[in-house]
Amino acid sequence: MDAAAGIGMTSDRSRRRMVDMLRHACVADERVLAVMQELPRHAFVEEGIASRAYEDTPLPIGHGQTISSPTIVARMTQLLLEKGVPGRVLEIGTGCGYQTAVLARLVKEVYTIERIAPLLDKARRHLRDLRFYNVRFKHRDGSGGYAEGAPYDGILCAASAPSLPVELLSQLAPGGRLVLPLGTDEQWLHVIERTADGHLDERREAVRFVPLVPGVA
């Protein structure tokens, strides 16, 4: 067996263990589990820490940012898909692009926004290497969303704002869902659904995210 096949097999086994761990963490959506079983999370982090890619932990991706833990990625995706698979999704906080890739396997179109240019470039490379063609990358401050691509059936934000950015809500299609952390010292994951005459806001679980930072870098 050559070395590359060996690495392939090891990561396949590590991913199976990760998926078992996700099931124990109450991730029940088989669509999400199947995608995470298949996607090489180790390809999204630096080689030096690739051996830790299937542990349930955030890992550094440079520029003071982290790749979200597998549990958080799985849970947020599961919440987004709870009432059906959205067609077009906006992601805020691309980071290394792992969550982007999970979304892109599940939905038709993904728009993803990152404020740190070198991170966006890295994510673009990762998704190109894995042959994703349904993702549009934008370098900008995502607090205002991306009106040019609206309306979205789903919006997922990977950085915490002190309060709900109203533009995000206005870019949701009726019935669309917005999954995002809110708060500063204490943060909660919220699921906000746009209804015919307003919106429903559910607070789900305590979380820890990097802050949503204004401006670009």
Q: Catalytic site residues?
A: 68
The vertex-158 CA angle with 155 and 160, nearest 5°, equals 105
Q: Does 210 bind ligand SAH (CB under 6 A)?
A: yes
Q: Give the full edge-to-edge strand order of the sheet including 172-182.
A: 135-139, 109-114, 88-92, 152-157, 172-182, 187-195, 198-207
Nearer to ligand SAH, 3 or 21 (CB): 21
From the list 81, 116, 168, 172, which residue makes contact with ligand SAH (rule: CB under 6 A)?
A: 116
Give the three-state DSSP class for 139: strand
User: Encoding tokens for residue 97?
Assistant: 């692009």
* CA dist list (Å): 76 to 9, 103, 165, 195: 28, 10, 18, 20
Site string for ligand SAH, 151-190 (x = CB under 6 A): -------xx-------------------------------
The vertex-152 CA angle with 147 and 156, nearest 5°, equals 95
Residue 47 CB partners (closer than 8 Å, separation 6+): none
Q: Does 112 bind ligand SAH (CB under 6 A)?
A: no
- Contacts from 124-129 at CB under 8 Å and sequence distance 24+? 124/97, 126/43, 126/44, 126/96, 126/97, 126/98, 126/101, 127/97, 127/100, 127/101, 129/43
Number of residues that bind ligand SAH (CB under 6 A): 25
Q: Does 102 bind ligand SAH (CB under 6 A)?
A: no
Q: Does 95 bind ligand SAH (CB under 6 A)?
A: yes
Q: Does 103 bind ligand SAH (CB under 6 A)?
A: no
Nearer to ligand SAH, 141 or 193 (CB): 141
Q: Does 141 bind ligand SAH (CB under 6 A)?
A: yes
Nearer to ligand SAH, 5 or 25 (CB): 25
Task: Tell me the residue length of the chain.
Answer: 217
151 upstream amide cis, omega within 30 of 0: yes
Q: Does 99 bind ligand SAH (CB under 6 A)?
A: yes
Q: How far is the CB of 174 from ligand SAH (least distance, A)?
A: 25
Nearer to ligand SAH, 138 or 199 (CB): 138
User: By CB under 6 A, which span of 2-10, 46-54, 111-119, 174-182 interacts with ligand SAH?
Assistant: 111-119
Residues binding ligand SAH (CB under 6 A): 61, 65-68, 92-93, 95-96, 98-99, 113-116, 119, 141-143, 158-159, 210, 212-214
